[in-house]
Amino acid sequence: SFVVIGTAYSNPGDDCAKRGRIIVMKVSTDGTNTAFSRKVKQVAETQVKGAVFSISPFFDGSILVTINSKTRLCRLVGSPDMKDVLDLKIVGAGHHGHITSLLVRSLAEEYADCPDGEKREQLAIVGDIMRSISVMKYYPEYKTLEEVARDFNQNCVTAIEMLTDDIYLGAEDFCNIFALRRNPHSPEEEIRCRLDTVGVFNLGEFVNKFLRGSLVMAASFGSSSEVHVSTADSMEEESSKSENRKLTLGIGSQTLYATVEGSIGSIIGLDVRSMTFFSALQRAMVRVIKPVGNLKHGDFRSYRGQRASQSCRGFIDGDLMESFSELDPAVMTMIVKEMNNEGKWDSSAMMGSRSSSSESKSDDTSATKENSEEVQKKMLTVDDVLTMVEDMSMAH
């Protein structure tokens, strides 16, 4: 295994570093697999014109490096004369056009063991100090790295992460987090090159690191046999095919975050049914529970930037959800009753009601009767909500 290190030379009077290095260290063991058996040896070094801000593994054994305003592709190659000598080569011209490329991420490691990993687009995202997030695509046949989409909002990003090839997570310096979506299959070029904001949320803390993963093992949570874990690619397919009316917790991506205040948290991707359920629970809790100091939950979690603010969307407040289990039983009952009265906690029931409304007038009476009977069978109880909240709590 190898460890790649980026450095910079900081000289007094310089606005930004003009020189840096990329150092490759090889880690080897003697077979005992202990901390004292590991040996680190420098095997390659490359001088670059600028500070190395971020390094990310990329496809085919290469790495992506952000150097000041540039994004470069590097590859470790062997020397033709000496077998034990390695050299780090910069491939192609890279990409130029950012103000300062602070961060770079890709899903190359996730696709390393996938059978169709070689057929996927070689994508990466770059976080700029002023120009938010851009999507880069590498063309191996031309050895070029091009920008294929970007977020046109002005966000000073502090952390970024790729959840899927088309969904990205970002944090900015006003203690907000946001989610972006790419539309690669749109027939219009203007839509394909623009990243849509699908979620905004005020976390209240300055995030400086995202990391894929969880603090618990995948098999260690979920007391209910109905709880299942879905991959990010299969979440939408399972939601559309599922005919099971029981409560299930469908989990997709799992991302950890760390803040400068010292806290560690988790961002969990939910399928459509779970998102619908917890959205209804959040609305019911906000309506039933009187906030301290009359501070509205929506105002607290609304996105607040330098120039504008907007309501929170696309995210569920996990801290609020977990507080449900600490409430008085009478308050729990009121919240569940509010969810049942609203009737929007089950996405499948909502879709069924829409389809029934489009039927002919002759079938209106029978369809309404069937829907009312189905809703009666699917009334929530406090235990149902507690089970979902506890399973979500144990998922991180």
pLDDT over 80 at 384, yes or no: yes
Q: What is the pLDDT of residue 227?
A: 39
* Residue 123 scores a pLDDT above 60: yes
Helix, strand or coil, per DSSP, at residue 45: strand
Q: What confidence category does residue 235 fall into, taking pLDDT thresholds of 50, 70 and 90?
A: very low
What's the Rg (C-alpha) of the chain? 25
Instruction: Write down the pTM of the prediction.
Output: 0.83
Beta strands 250-259; 228-229: pairing state: parallel
Q: How far apart are alpha carbons 346 and 344 in whole angstroms?
A: 6
Q: Which amino acid is at 217?
A: M
Dihedrals phi, psi of 239, to nearest 5 degrees = -65, -40
Is residue 348 predicted with pLDDT exceeding 80? no
pLDDT tens sequence across 12-70:
888 888 899 999 998 887 777 777 778 888 889 999 999 999 999 999 889 999 999 99
Whether pLDDT at 239 is above 70:
no
Dist CA 215 CA 396 (whole Å): 6
Contact between residue 52 and residue 66 where contact means Cβ atoms under 8 Å apart: yes
Distance from the Cα of residue 337 to its chain's centroid? 33
Lowest mean pLDDT among 167-176, 343-352, 387-396: 343-352
Q: Is the pLDDT of residue 366 over 70?
A: no
CB atoms within 10 A of CB 230: 20
Question: Which long-range CB contacts under 8 A does 358-365 form with residues at least 24 apart?
Answer: none
**CB contact at 8 A, 320 and 295:** no
The pLDDT value recorded for residue 13 is 81
pLDDT recorded at residue 224: 41
Q: Give me the pLDDT at residue 352, please.
A: 53
Q: 3-state class of 10 per DSSP?
A: coil
DSSP secondary structure code for residue 204 in this structure: S
Integer Cα distance of 127 and 133 in angstroms: 5
Please give the average per-residue pLDDT across 354-374, as a whole number. Answer: 48
DSSP 8-state code for residue 290: P
Q: Are 65 and 72 in contact (CB under 8 A)?
A: yes
Count CB neighbours of 310 within 10 A.
12
- Rounded CA separation 202/300 (Å): 7
